[in-house]
A and B are shown apart, each in its own frame.
Chain A
Amino acid sequence: MNASVQLEDLSVRFGDFTAVSNVNLNIDGGEFFSFLGPSGCGKTTVLRTISGFLAPSTGRVTISGTDMVGIGPNNRPTALIFQNLALFPLMTVSENIAYGLRIQGFSLTERTKKADELLELVALNGMGTKLISELSGGQKQRVAIARALAVQPKVLLLDEPLSALDLKLRQHMRTELRAIQQQVGITFIYITHDQGEALTMSDRIAVMSDGVVLQVGDGRAIYDNPTSAFVASFVGENNAFSGRVTRIDGNLAQIETSTGNLVGRNPKGLSIGDKAILFVRPENLNFGQTLGSVEFEAKFNSAAFEGNATHIHLMGAHGGEITVTLSRSDDFNVPAKGTSLKLSYQPALGLILADGALASD
């Protein structure tokens, strides 16, 4: 059983400070939905409002069409997995998992049975009698998930659950979480600042900054077609060139920048004279030139080898850094620092968006 979640005109204010403003979202039942954004963007606030620990200042939260106003966290069909897990230190693993069932009045035998089933689901068979203090980070993570699933919530809320784990474990847990979600079939609402997580796990992502939802879409849409400068620069690496639109040619446009005249797609329909930024992903830049490509020059700075890719850092004429990412199969001879190199890209891979704040600001 799962439920859909609707946020209508949701705003949350703390005194003078607006944490969340005018969020309108429709999350489908059974979806793995993520809120992605830097710290302080308001995603935790949204989560706590959905779970019932905060009340909205304006707007409302409905779950499967039922307005949640006035309903406390203990009466909502949601379960929350806290960032620091909040496992009960004085109870065993099994008691932790079965706590929600104990509240509901199940007998001890029934509870233990249910707990064992869930332990199997999260691959922790037989660890029911252990104390929380005896578990590793990854194991505690799974106990938290089992505990939340035990109360059979229709919506599972996860607050940056993987941030405390090391890299290998994080990657492993990503696939596991996704697998569990698809097996159990309930709606997962996940918040994180790590775009890698959001992209690999989610059906859809909402990118947030400063309390506002900037864009909602699936991973591809967000990555290939960001609708604002912030989203373009926050999700993945992106090279940014600012300037003014000087020509329009169908769905392409040309902007004049200090690096030269650059061409890219113009999905937002900007007009001549508008201040704009052109974005090109590092993996879409090449050295040398090919037919129909847009070209410009930059001075070589350094090269960083990262296992399966090499990142070349250059200094552009606009004074900003430019990154080119080459895969292992590409050849590259490291020149002297300061050497001027020719760079090029296919015009359709350039993206022109309205001028705005970048994620790194």
Chain B
Amino acid sequence: MLLLSYLERRKSTDPNTKGYFEKNGKALGTFFICAVGFWMILLIILPYLYMVIESFHPKLPMKLRGGPTDLVTLDQYKSFFIEPSSGDWNTTHFWAFFYTIIVSISVTFFNFAICYPVAFYLAQSGKKMNVRFLMLALVVPYWVNEILRAFSLRLLLTSKGVINQVLLAMGLIDSPIDFLGLNIGLYVGLSYAYLLIMMFPLYNAIESLDKYQIEAAYDLGAPRWKIHRDIVIPYSKPGIASGCTMVFMLCAGSLAAPQFLGGPSTLWFTSIVYDFFFQSFNWPRGAAYAFLLLSACVAFVMITLRIFKVSLGESIK
């Protein structure tokens, strides 16, 4: 309502600033505002606020909610540090949190490293036909659902899986390697899942670089690796930042990969959140942990943007 009156007021001051309703007609104008209002308020802002509020509540059965015992509390957040039932330091969850973050960062770097050459080739050297075909080839696997993809990786990596079969048959190992238990499955799964997310921003950024700049540098005597370090990478910073932040966020928030490819001892923070909701029905605690996860993601994004000296607007592309 405040917004509406603000818009109405703007209409009258300068005769040449068309009022909002003047510009769009009453029916459409109302529709636009309602639609966007509905979306932003009911689907984004309020649910998020509710989750944050929920995280400040104690865990109570349905009947006691809203009653006298339903006080604002930091217990849920505290529980992250100190296990409520035993009073000890909550090392498991702590460890899970950092493990998740570190693995996500590593996967991000790994994906960047292996995607960069392909992105560069696609963007700079390929002939039109080749490029389109390659693009298509890259996109098709992603039409397959992430769960099926994780599943297919599992087929490869279990003790009876293909890779072990091949290695055994070639005589390189004596007994099957437990890829899954060693969490290698998890790493590969995460990397595999978000390969393209890194590829596309990278490709877009490099593609807009004028090919002649590279040739000019080469002509001036710069070796290839220096060209990449001094010209290509600084130029594609927004794309790199964009790809890295997306991969990180998707990794940290990933559910499918740890669920299907993690070994029994794997502790993934997001899975813990999942369990709070579906196993112990401890919504407030789940909400608190979710908020911690979100903060970590946002912090990472901010830091990355700062390091790369890129603004938020640029990286969204």
Q: Which residues of A contact B (CB under 8 A)?
A: 14, 54-57, 72
Task: Give me 7 A-to-B residue pairs in the complex whose CB atoms sit less than 8 angstroms apart, sorted by A's number.
Answer: A14-B16, A54-B16, A55-B15, A55-B16, A56-B15, A57-B15, A72-B22
Q: What's the Cα separation between A54 and B17 when bound, in Å?
A: 9
- What 1/0 flags go to B1-31 for Cβ under 8 Å of A? 0000000000000011000001000000000
Chain B residues whose C-beta falls within 8 Å of the C-beta of A55 in the assembled complex: 15-16
Main secondary structure of the interface of A (DSSP, over half): loop
Chain B residues whose C-beta falls within 8 Å of the C-beta of A54 in the assembled complex: 16
Tell me the total A-B contact number using a CB cutoff of 8 A: 7
Main secondary structure of the interface of B (DSSP, over half): loop
Chain A residues whose C-beta falls within 8 Å of the C-beta of B15 in the assembled complex: 55-57
Would you give the shortest CB distance from A46 to chain B, in whole angstroms? 14
Would you give the shortest CB distance from A67 to chain B, in whole angstroms? 14
Would you give the shortest CB distance from A50 to chain B, in whole angstroms? 15
Q: What's the Cα separation between A54 and B16 when bound, in Å?
A: 6
Q: What's the Cα separation between A14 and B16 when bound, in Å?
A: 9
Of all chain B residues, which has the CB nearest A57? Answer: B15
Q: For chain B, residues 21 to 69, give those with C-beta under 8 angstroms from any C-beta of chain A.
A: 22
Q: What's the Cα separation between A229 and B78 when bound, in Å?
A: 84
The 7 closest A-B pairs by CB, nearest first: A55-B15, A55-B16, A54-B16, A57-B15, A14-B16, A56-B15, A72-B22
Of all chain B residues, which has the CB nearest A70? Answer: B15
Would you give the shortest CB distance from A307 to chain B, in whole angstroms? 44
Would you give the shortest CB distance from B48 to chain A, in whole angstroms? 39
Chain A residues whose C-beta falls within 8 Å of the C-beta of B22 in the assembled complex: 72
Q: What's the Cα separation between A60 and B46 when bound, in Å?
A: 49
Q: What's the Cα separation between A55 and B16 when bound, in Å?
A: 6
Would you give the shortest CB distance from A19 to chain B, in whole angstroms? 11
Would you give the shortest CB distance from B213 to chain A, in whole angstroms? 34
- What 1/0 flags go to B65-77 for Cβ under 8 Å of A? 0000000000000
Of all chain B residues, which has the CB nearest A12? Answer: B16
Would you give the shortest CB distance from A75 to chain B, in whole angstroms? 13
Would you give the shortest CB distance from A136 to chain B, in whole angstroms? 31
Q: What's the Cα separation between A56 and B22 when bound, in Å?
A: 17
- What 1/0 flags go to B172-204 for Cβ under 8 Å of A? 000000000000000000000000000000000
- What 1/0 flags go to B191-221 for Cβ under 8 Å of A? 0000000000000000000000000000000
Q: What's the Cα separation between A56 and B15 when bound, in Å?
A: 8
Q: What's the Cα separation between A245 and B298 when bound, in Å?
A: 78
Would you give the shortest CB distance from B228 to chain A, in whole angstroms? 43
Q: What's the Cα separation between A14 and B14 when bound, in Å?
A: 9
Of all chain B residues, which has the CB nearest A14? Answer: B16
Chain A residues whose C-beta falls within 8 Å of the C-beta of B16 in the assembled complex: 14, 54-55
Of all chain B residues, which has the CB nearest A69? Answer: B15
Chain B residues whose C-beta falls within 8 Å of the C-beta of A14 in the assembled complex: 16
Q: What's the Cα separation between A27 and B22 when bound, in Å?
A: 30
Q: What's the Cα separation between A69 and B22 when bound, in Å?
A: 15
Q: What's the Cα separation between A314 and B229 when bound, in Å?
A: 61
Q: What's the Cα separation between A72 and B16 when bound, in Å?
A: 12
- What 1/0 flags go to B266-307 for Cβ under 8 Å of A? 000000000000000000000000000000000000000000
Q: What's the Cα separation between A307 and B15 when bound, in Å?
A: 52
Q: What's the Cα separation between A55 and B14 when bound, in Å?
A: 9
